[in-house]
Amino acid sequence: APYDPQEPPLVKPKIPFIGHIIGLLRHGTRYYSMIATTTHHPIFTLPVPRGKMYIVTSPSLIAACDRRGKVVSFAPYVVEFGKRILAGSAHSVGLLSEDLLEEKGPHGSLRTETMAAMHRSQVPGPYLDEMMRVTLVSSVGFVDETLLGGGGAGEGVEVGLFAWVKRFMTVAGTDAVYGAERNPFHDPEVADSFWAVDKDFALLGMMFLPDLLAPKGSRGRKRFFQAFREYYASGGLETASYLIKARHEANKKYGISDDDIARFDLGVCTALLVNTVPAMGWMLCHAFSNATLLATLRSQIEAVVFPNGVPPPFGTTTNTATKINIHTLTTSIPLLESFVREVLRVQSNSASARFVLRDTLLRDDTTGASYLVKKDCFLGMPSAPVHGDQTVWGPDAGVFDPERFLPERVEGKKKVPASAWRTFGGGNALCPGRHLALREIMSVLVVLVLRCEIEPYELGKRGPWRIPAKRHHISTSILTPKEDIKVRIRPREGLEHVRWEFVWEDEATGVVSS
Ligand code: HEM
């Protein structure tokens, strides 16, 4: 459709016609930030071959889009994902695409019903606590194994940091959801299959000769589906979390076949893992590369967990374990969540991709200006430009500041609008896994900060920390590094004799872990 002057300002490409496509291919989502900083438009239109894209960069207009979530919609992407990546049957994809405008309410279609189940099962409360209990047992077990490695004499192990995190977070995350007893991810072949699909995501999405053009991803996808069909056939559902049970119920209500349910699980695992896993890697880079911050985190945690705030001396603790309730810890040490939120602020590359289902007028409450966005156009609210905006975060927007989200700091400053922190998106597409992700990340962080030393290590000697460059990916919000960091992980000196017991217990909800 021709450009209407009521639409957001047009940014013409330097190279006619294809210039923006070249920019996007070359710079990825950074391209939006580059345009935002040079034009200062709160929303702009990028003409591309066969259409146009609207890009929103101001928190007030992002809030306006969130309010119009039904017409500036995420739903078409759920449908495309079901079709292209999950390769669901025509029947199931048909059901997913019903009631795109969500006029029938939260229980009016398979898509909305499933999403309601995702939210209901992950709000803070007993279901979430139970998932936390399982994930903690799983990740602590793996850390124990690592620390016993390297001959057990404390020399530690040398690993690629992100690869190491990926191995245990993949299992810990899926244990929480599918239950530790029958989780298909305990078979390393299934875990590898899953990550092969993620790697070939863009090629599989083209739906063109996948066996030939994306052989590993295509084979991995088949292996994944087979493993999940077997999981349900052998009674896996009985050992699953409420999340999987609630989804299953919704699927059955709409007559989804067992084969399609196994396919949908690839969607669950994608949402569950592709951001959480790299996010954990970045957490460790930011925590362990900064000696002052690491010391502060340790002393704040130790003040809570040890009587008198210092580790018990050698010889006094052989029989009693030091019990650490991570739930209490994260509520009494605000720096933990502030740090995690700040890492997510600087590392987030989320797109918040939307599709305009109906011509809509967006009103910017701060300026009073209105913009017309047209049916069938793409609209993106990339996180990077807002996360780096000095008018929102202050002149130090570009600086990594782990204390930025401390409650007392937030109160003292000009209020940052909720729509300016976009790590988990917003509106009715707001990530339902945000509580699980934050809690899981904080838990693993506490365990590792307390128990481990992690140092860059190459060719047998200690090297400097370098925060690596990121690899572009079309669908994940937290990108992976271009190259992994080689590190040595060993038990912290002087604490080898401490027997740890990590639990997640919330007296308020009554879940007690073993
Ligand atoms: C650090 C970890 C995570 C990050 C950064 C993240 C980020 C996001 C983002 C940016 C969106 C899109 C929101 C939008 O477009 O406005 C999203 C959606 C979603 N996320 Fe997460 N996520 C994380 C972890 C999880 C976990 C652990 C789960 C658990 C299953 C999960 C489940 C989902 C689902 C199901 C959606 C789709 C929502 C819908 O269709 O309405 N995410 N996430």
Which residue has the least CA distance to atom 30 on ligand 1?
272
51-56 and 322-325 beta bridge pairing: unpaired
Q: In this model, does residue 512 exceed pLDDT 70?
A: no
pLDDT class of 316 with cuts at 50, 70, 90: low
Alpha-carbon gap, residue 404 to 185, rounded angstroms: 37
Q: Which two tokens stand for residue 124?
A: 């803070």
What does the pLDDT look like over 324-380, one tens digit per residue?
999 999 999 999 999 999 999 999 999 899 999 999 999 999 999 999 999 999 999
Predicted pLDDT of residue 333: 96
Alpha-carbon gap, residue 56 to 54, rounded angstroms: 7
Which residue has the least CA distance to atom 41 on ligand 1?
429
C-beta 134 within 6 A of ligand 1: no
**Distances in Å between the alpha carbon of 470 and those of 11, 266, 331, 395, 431?**
27, 24, 32, 25, 23
Ligand 1 probe mutation, 198, 424, 439, most atoms within 8 A of CB = 424
From the alpha carbon of 437, which atom of ligand 1 is closest? 27
Q: In this model, does residue 155 exceed pLDDT 50?
A: yes
Predicted pLDDT of residue 510: 54
ipTM of the complex: 0.99
In this structure, of 295-299, 384-388, 408-412, 443-447, the range with the lowest mean pLDDT score is 408-412
Which residue has the least CA distance to atom 43 on ligand 1?
431
Percent with pLDDT over 70 in the chain: 96
pLDDT class of 314 with cuts at 50, 70, 90: confident
pLDDT class of 152 with cuts at 50, 70, 90: low
Predicted pLDDT of residue 505: 87
- Greater pLDDT, 369 or 417: 369
Nearest CA to 330 out of 129, 120, 127 is that of 129
Which residue has the least CA distance to atom 20 on ligand 1?
431
Q: Distance from the CA of 12 to the center of ligand 1, in angstroms?
A: 33
What does the pLDDT look like over 456-468, one tens digit per residue?
998 788 888 988 8
Nearest CA to 177 out of 268, 259, 250 is that of 268
C-beta 349 within 6 A of ligand 1: no
How high does pLDDT run on average in the chain?
Answer: 92
43-48, strands of its sheet edge to edge: 43-48, 51-56, 378-380, 353-356, 72-73
Predicted pLDDT of residue 513: 44
Considering Cα of 393, then 395, then 398, then 403, what sign does the dihedral take?
A: negative
Predicted pLDDT of residue 317: 56
Q: In this model, does residue 1 exceed pLDDT 90?
A: no
| CATH class of domain segment(s) 117-182+235-343+425-503 | mainly alpha
pLDDT class of 151 with cuts at 50, 70, 90: low
What does the pLDDT look like over 222-251, one tens digit per residue?
999 999 999 999 999 999 999 999 999 999
pLDDT class of 106 with cuts at 50, 70, 90: confident
Q: Distance from the CA of 25 to the center of ligand 1, in angstroms?
A: 24
C-beta 273 within 6 A of ligand 1: no
What does the pLDDT look like over 268-302, one tens digit per residue?
999 999 999 999 999 999 999 999 999 999 999 99
Which residue has the least CA distance to atom 2 on ligand 1?
276
Helix (H/G/I), strand (E/B), else coil: 47: strand
Nearest CA to 65 out of 80, 78, 76, 54 is that of 54
CB-CB contact of 487 with 158 (8 Å): yes
Q: Distance from the CA of 349 to the center of ligand 1, in angstroms?
A: 13
E strand or H helix at 412: helix 407-412
Q: pTM of the predicted model, to two decimals?
A: 0.95
Q: In this model, does residue 414 exceed pLDDT 80?
A: no
Residue that has been written with the tokens 């013409």 in this structure: 12
Beta bridge partners of 461: 458
Cβ atoms within 10 A of the Cβ of 229, count?
A: 17
Which residue has the least CA distance to atom 16 on ligand 1?
425
Mean pLDDT of the 202-231 span: 95
Helix, strand, coil share of the chain (percent; to 5): 50, 15, 35
Q: Are 19-74+349-420 and 117-182+235-343+425-503 equal in CATH topology? A: no
The third-level CATH classification (topology) of the domain covering 19-74+349-420 is 3.30.43
Predicted pLDDT of residue 514: 36
From the alpha carbon of 268, which atom of ligand 1 is closest? 30
Q: Of how many residues is the chain composed?
A: 514
Alpha-carbon gap, residue 501 to 143, rounded angstroms: 12
Q: Distance from the CA of 474 to the center of ligand 1, in angstroms?
A: 15
pLDDT class of 319 with cuts at 50, 70, 90: low
Predicted pLDDT of residue 471: 83
Alpha-carbon gap, residue 477 to 506, rounded angstroms: 30
Residue that has been written with the tokens 């345009």 in this structure: 35
Please report, for the chain, the start and end positions of each structural domain, with discontinuous segments joined by +. Answer: 19-74+349-420, 117-182+235-343+425-503
Nearest CA to 402 out of 307, 278, 281, 282 is that of 282
- R_g of the chain, CA atoms, integer Å: 24
Angle, CA 393 vertex, CA 392 and CA 395 arms, to 5°? 110
Which residue has the least CA distance to atom 25 on ligand 1?
433
- Greater pLDDT, 505 or 234: 234
Alpha-carbon gap, residue 393 to 409, rounded angstroms: 12
From the alpha carbon of 353, which atom of ligand 1 is closest? 15
Q: In this model, does residue 218 exceed pLDDT 90?
A: yes
Annotated binding-site residue? 269: no
Mean pLDDT of the 210-222 span: 96
